[in-house]
């Protein structure tokens, strides 16, 4: 995938810390829950990975778990004078009817009729966008985001970052697991993203002219 740009900038893309819905293995897309004590530590540990990085701008999704993680990282890295720009387009996928439901049971319901034991098994052969369509098809209300809607939104989020970044800048961006993995899969299909990434994991992206490079994934 190529992103048309006329400038260069670097994105430190971090997943939010653990929440109570993560802890209880519940589906958490647009549903939101507070960070656990471990989630707060996840954010502090993420900050240690970027301790010497000077951020020019900071962004997060508009969900509180991402915003609060970003605040902790900025404070720990002495970048807390920055305002956090909240972008709805980089929030997690919307799971519709399945929001808040038991995670393994949900994916069992979706994947077993398709011949897979669960989401990890499904993603070993399919993309995240196909997973979005599978969830949408299984949603009795048909409100879970489908692939086209999700992809369009995530790419719109990238466009927003590109529009607001200045040449040579370094951006902190805090987002969500499926949003991050889906973007990585678009930028570099050779990277295996089918397994979950850690809360507080670090991903580094370089945007240079017409090219987007994944420098680090799930660190």
The residue from 2, 16, 54, 71 that is catalytic is: 16
The residue from 2, 44, 78, 92 that is catalytic is: 92
pLDDT at 93: 98
Mark whether 92 is an active-site residue: yes
Mark the binding-site residues for substrate, compressed into ranges.
Answer: 15-22, 65
Angstrom distance (rounded) from CA 126 to CA 186: 13
Mark the binding-site residues, compressed into ranges.
Answer: 15-22, 65
Q: Is 26 left (phi over 0), alpha (psi -120 to 50) or beta?
A: beta
Q: Which domains does the chain have, with CATH numbers?
A: 8-94+145-216 (3.40.50.1240)
pLDDT digits (tens, 9 = 90+) for 125-174: 999 899 999 999 999 999 999 999 999 999 999 999 999 999 999 999 99
Judge residue 40's burial from the number of C-beta atoms within 10 Å of its C-beta, 0-12 exposed, 13-18 middle, 19 or more buried.
Answer: middle
The pTM assigned to this predicted structure is 0.94
Mark whether 213 is an active-site residue: no
């Amino acid at each position: 995938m190529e992103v048309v740009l006329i400038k260069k900038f670097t994105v430190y893309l971090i997943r939010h810390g653990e929440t109570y819905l993560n802890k209880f293995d519940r589906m958490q897309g647009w549903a939101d829950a507070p960070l656990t004590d471990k989630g707060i530590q996840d954010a502090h540990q993420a900050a240690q990975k970027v301790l010497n990085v000077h951020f020019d701008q900071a962004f997060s999704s508009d969900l509180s778990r991402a915003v609060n993680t970003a605040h902790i990282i900025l404070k720990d890295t002495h970048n807390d004078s920055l305002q956090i720009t909240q972008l709805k387009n980089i929030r997690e996928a919307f799971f519709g009817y399945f929001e808040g439901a038991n995670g393994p049971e949900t994916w069992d319901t979706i994947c077993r009729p398709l011949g897979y034991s669960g989401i990890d098994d499904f993603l070993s052969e399919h993309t995240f966008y196909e997973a979005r369509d599978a969830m949408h098809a299984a949603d009795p209300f048909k409100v879970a985001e489908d692939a086209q809607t999700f992809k369009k939104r995530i790419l719109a989020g990238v466009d927003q970052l590109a529009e607001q970044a200045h040449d040579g800048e370094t951006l902190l961006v805090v987002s969500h697991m499926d949003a991050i993995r889906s973007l990585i899969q678009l930028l570099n299909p050779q990277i295996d993203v089918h397994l979950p990434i850690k809360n507080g994991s670090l991903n580094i992206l370089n945007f240079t002219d017409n090219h987007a490079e994944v420098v680090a994934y799930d660190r």
